[in-house]
Amino acid sequence: MGFHHVAIAVKDAKATHAFYTQAMGFKLVKVEVGELPGVPGGWMKHFFYDTGGDGMIAFWDLHGATLPEDWSPAIADGLGLPHWSNHIAFDADSLEALEEIKNRWLEQGHDVMEIDHGWCSSVYTDDPNGILVEFCTTTREFDESDAKEALELFDADHPEPKNPPISRFHRAVDRGER
């Protein structure tokens, strides 16, 4: 069973829309507008994008005088966690598709981290809200030895760290304001 959608509150709906349509290549398919429950005079937009897979990603544009002004939409950073820990990963069909996504991000002024995890390859960038987004493609089939190792590592109280994956950072050409 897959996700129907993942929803995240954002501070800048217009920048979020530009990023998810242009840099990510997603299509806006639905917007719901309503009153913000529990916030007198408050209102909200809930906007949904088709990610090209089985699920959608959605965002909240929240407005109301009693909402805090200093909140962070960055999922991990806003909680004081390492930036990379909470992120959103989307499926890429192939290594060639990852390369196309990486180049599109770079051309649009977004820095990219590329990582070969050994069993999958990924590209990462930040959206306008400071949320780390990833496109990932699995590069090999899992077998019984993978499942056995996964269970052993999961059950271990202090597993032995492995060498970090191979990563490459690609800095976008400065193209002014993004």
Q: What is the pLDDT of residues 129-166, one digit of tens each?
A: 999 999 999 999 999 999 999 999 999 999 988 888 88
Domains of the chain: 5-63 (3.10.180.10), 83-170 (3.10.180.10)
Rounded to a whole number, what is the distance in angstroms from the first to the last CA of the chain? 36
pLDDT at 118 over 80: yes
pLDDT digits (tens, 9 = 90+) for 32-72: 999 999 899 999 999 999 998 888 999 999 999 999 888 88
Q: Got the DSSP string for 95-133?
A: HHHHHHHHHHHHHTT--EEEEE-SSEEEEEEE-TTS-EE
pLDDT at 178 over 50: no
Q: Which of 99, 112, 2 is nearest to 57 (CA)?
A: 2
